[in-house]
């Protein structure tokens, strides 16, 4: 398949439990993706020219600075940002991006942030302790309830500073109606942040014009989930938010003038990028963006949707497989499931040991969401908290990338059939 030829390591052989080598199957793309071949080529091609950026006058330094700074326009083009009004701040990942925004958003402890019950911890924990945080409810399938969002916006009567919502859940894959959410947030005077970690690699995204009611004020995403695993991410938002106040990290590159009596900070984004930046990561990110654009995000969305539909249909044929609200409309290609009677961690281990299939198991850094989906009551959660290292309820997660194939899903089906047929053995071993 054409897409498969774009990715590094798709035919790597790994040892099974019996020592036999077999081709690795990666269904853990929601955690991280392998690099594009174009990304590796870009890294290797740029390496001889790599140098410290900004204040160096040597040719390599000037050239590296141009690569670094011009990259921001390419990022804005990719997500529909406005170069006159928005700034691109490079960070390590989505987690750092959201933490950065939490440190700059509002210094008034009366500010309210609305998160949701379906968030990754990275779009929940950074808000705690700094703001009044409330959570938008989800339905029985884990989908956001917009009526509850509007109810809470009304309840706080103009005090909500930000609605922080995932673009696509890393647990269920559900894509939130972020444009509708944006309209509601703006109606009540709030900003919107979209955590794009699981959305940006899989579906075309547009921040829209600042004059549009559906404008997305902030978007954050990670390179390592979009085939550029070199430690870079981005936070995009209005320049004016970052012009005032002090940066959360202070040091080299963040200042215009310093004495022992005063500091004049740099303009954003430099003000927010303390120390030597991850230039190689930015080179990788831009190469990944260019590859995604050359393929076409609509084509990626369409193909991954066929994988999702195929895998969901196959898994639904097994009586012993428990799917969690298997409505696959408006989702990225993620499927959470369990095999009845076998611990989720054991299932993941068997898939790896016997079939070289990589999946993720557990709570996927979204424990409150998993607790809701699994109907775990507060008493059981309290019991778990007293022994946090014990085996916890969770799920097995399949997450597909553009390079996965139907043949790989067929191998997964054989693996599931094998596990179910040997359930008694695996329950006792």
Which band of pLDDT confidence, cut at 50, 70 and 90, is reported for residue 389? confident
Q: Give me the catalytic one of 106, 111, 141, 365.
A: 365
Which of 155, 153, 137 has its CA nearest to residue 190? 153
pLDDT of residue 146: 97
365 is catalytic: yes
Give pLDDT tens digits for 286-329.
999 999 999 999 999 999 999 999 999 999 999 999 999 778 99
Distance of CA 56 to the CA centre of its chain: 34
Whether the per-residue pLDDT at 59 is higher than 70: the answer is: yes
- Going by C-alpha positions, the residue among 158, 218, 151, 167 that lies closest to residue 190 is 158
Angstrom distances, CA of residue 406 to CA of 309, 403, 409, 416? 11, 10, 5, 15
Does residue 180 surpass a pLDDT of 70? yes
Residues 6+ apart with CB under 8 A from 316: 323, 326
| Residue 190 predicted with pLDDT over 70 | yes
Residue 1: pLDDT band with limits 50, 70, 90 = low
27-50 residue pLDDT tens: 999 999 999 999 999 999 999 999
Determine the 3-state secondary structure of 93 from DSSP.
coil
How confident is the model over 204-254, as pLDDT tens digits? 999 999 999 999 999 999 999 999 999 999 999 999 999 988 999 999 999
Handedness of CA 409, 414, 418, 420 (dihedral sign): positive
DSSP H or E segment with residue 181: helix 178-187
Predicted confidence band of residue 85 (pLDDT cuts 50, 70, 90):
very high
Q: What average pLDDT does the chain have?
A: 95
What percent of the chain clears pLDDT 70, i.e. is strictly above it? 99
* pLDDT computed for residue 109 by the predictor: 67
pTM for this structure? Answer: 0.96
Amino acid 385: pLDDT: 77
353-371 pLDDT, tens per residue?
Answer: 999 999 999 999 999 999 9
d(CA 359, CA 349): 9
Buried b or exposed e, range 211-222, using 16+ CB within 10 angstroms: eeebbbbbbbbb
To the nearest whole percent, how much of the chain has pLDDT over 90? Answer: 91
3-class DSSP state of 179: helix
Per-residue model confidence (pLDDT) at position 429: 80
């Amino acid at each position: 398949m054409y897409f498969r030829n774009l990715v590094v390591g798709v035919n790597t052989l790994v040892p099974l439990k019996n020592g036999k080598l077999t081709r690795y199957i990666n269904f853990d793309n929601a955690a991280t993706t392998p690099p594009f071949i174009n990304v590796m080529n870009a890294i290797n091609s740029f390496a001889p020219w790599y140098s410290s950026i900004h204040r160096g006058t040597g040719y390599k330094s000037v050239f590296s600075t141009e690569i670094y700074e011009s990259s921001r326009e390419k990022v804005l083009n990719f997500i529909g940002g406005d170069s006159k009004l928005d700034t691109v701040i490079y960070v390590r990942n989505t987690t750092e991006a959201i933490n950065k925004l939490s440190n700059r958003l509002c210094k008034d402890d009366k500010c309210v942030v609305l998160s949701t019950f379906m968030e990754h911890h990275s779009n929940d924990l950074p808000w705690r302790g700094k703001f009044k945080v409330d959570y938008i409810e989800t339905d029985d399938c884990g989908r956001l309830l917009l009526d509850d969002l509007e109810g809470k916006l009304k309840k706080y009567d103009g005090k909500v500073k930000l609605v922080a919502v995932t673009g696509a859940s890393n647990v269920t894959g559900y894509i939130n109606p972020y444009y509708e959410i944006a309209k509601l947030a703006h109606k009540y005077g709030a900003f919107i942040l979209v955590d794009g970690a699981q959305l940006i690699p899989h579906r075309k995204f547009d921040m829209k014009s600042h004059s549009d009611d559906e404008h997305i004020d902030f978007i954050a995403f990670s390179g390592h989930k979009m085939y550029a695993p070199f430690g870079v991410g981005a936070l995009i938002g209005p320049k004016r938010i970052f012009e005032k106040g002090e940066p959360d990290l202070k040091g080299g590159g963040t200042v215009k003038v310093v004495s022992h009596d005063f500091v004049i900070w740099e303009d954003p984004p430099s003000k927010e990028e303390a120390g030597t930046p991850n230039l190689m990561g930015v080179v990788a990110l831009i190469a990944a963006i260019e590859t995604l654009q050359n393929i076409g995000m609509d084509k990626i969305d369409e193909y991954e949707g066929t994988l999702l539909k195929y895998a969901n249909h196959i898994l639904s044929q097994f009586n012993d497989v428990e799917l969690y609200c298997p409505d696959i409309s408006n989702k990225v290609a993620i499927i959470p499931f369990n095999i009845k009677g076998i611990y989720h961690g054991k299932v993941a281990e068997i898939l790896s040991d016997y079939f070289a299939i990589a999946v993720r198991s557990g709570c996927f850094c979204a424990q409150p969401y998993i607790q809701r989906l699994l109907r775990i009551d507060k008493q059981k959660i309290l019991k778990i908290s007293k022994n946090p290292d014990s085996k916890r309820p969770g799920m097995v997660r399949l997450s597909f990338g553009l390079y996965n194939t139907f043949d790989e899903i067929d191998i997964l089906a054989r693996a599931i059939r094998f596990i179910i047929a040997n359930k008694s053995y695996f329950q006792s071993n």
